[in-house]
Each structure stands twice: as C-alpha cells, then as structure tokens.
Amino acid sequence: MNGRAIMIQKRFYDALDTGIQLGRYGGIKTFCDEHGLNRTKYSRIRTGIQDPSNARYYTTIDIDALAAICSDLGVNPEWLLLGRGKMLKPSHE
C-alpha cells in the first residue's frame, strides 16, 4: 500500500478516536454498527497500521466510512484526504 493511503487511514483513526473521546461513538464497533461496516475489518486495519507485519486480510478503508466520519463529526474532508487544515470544520470544534 502506498504512503498516501496509509496516512489517510491514520487520519481516519485519529478522527474516530476523537469521536470516541467526544462521546459520539462507544468505539469501533459502534461506528461500524451505525454504518453497516465490518467491525472485524476495521479492527484489523487498525492493527495493521500499528504493526504492518499484521496487515494480512484487510488493507483499505471503505469510501462509505470516510464519508460517514466526515458527516457524523464534521471532519474536514481536505484534512482527512490531504492532511491540510484542521481535523474538524470550525462549526464542529
């Protein structure tokens, strides 16, 4: 996987952790259940990011998950995809 995709995934999990800290989600399971996503996949992707030797089964985050984190939390899509600007849009800080 290329470096750009890995950075997007790291930012996705940073945003998810922010959502957990803000009380929007109870955890990965809550986020996945709300959006019809495979919790096992998202747990394994996170593990693979933390330890690339464990990146076996799933390697990419669904576009639906990226869109959901933006709409649920007001995550700035430019930050999520390109690393520019702040994580949250001003109206959600």
CA–CA gap between residue 25 and residue 82 (Å, rounded): 24
- Residue range 3-92, CATH number: 1.10.260
* Residue of 46 and 2 predicted with greater confidence: 46
Per-residue model confidence as pLDDT tens digits over 3-25: 888 899 999 999 999 999 999 99
- Return the bridge partners of 53, or none: none
Q: Pick the closest to residue 44 from 33, 55, 30 (CA basis).
A: 55
Task: Classify residue 74 by burial, with Cβ atoms within 10 Å: 0-12, 13-18, 19+.
Answer: middle
Residue 40 has pLDDT above 60, yes or no: yes
Q: Model-level pTM greater than 0.85?
A: yes
Q: Where are the domains of the chain?
A: 3-92
25 within 8 A of 69, measured Cβ to Cβ: no
CA–CA gap between residue 67 and residue 55 (Å, rounded): 23
pLDDT of residue 51: 75
Residue 93 has pLDDT above 80, yes or no: no
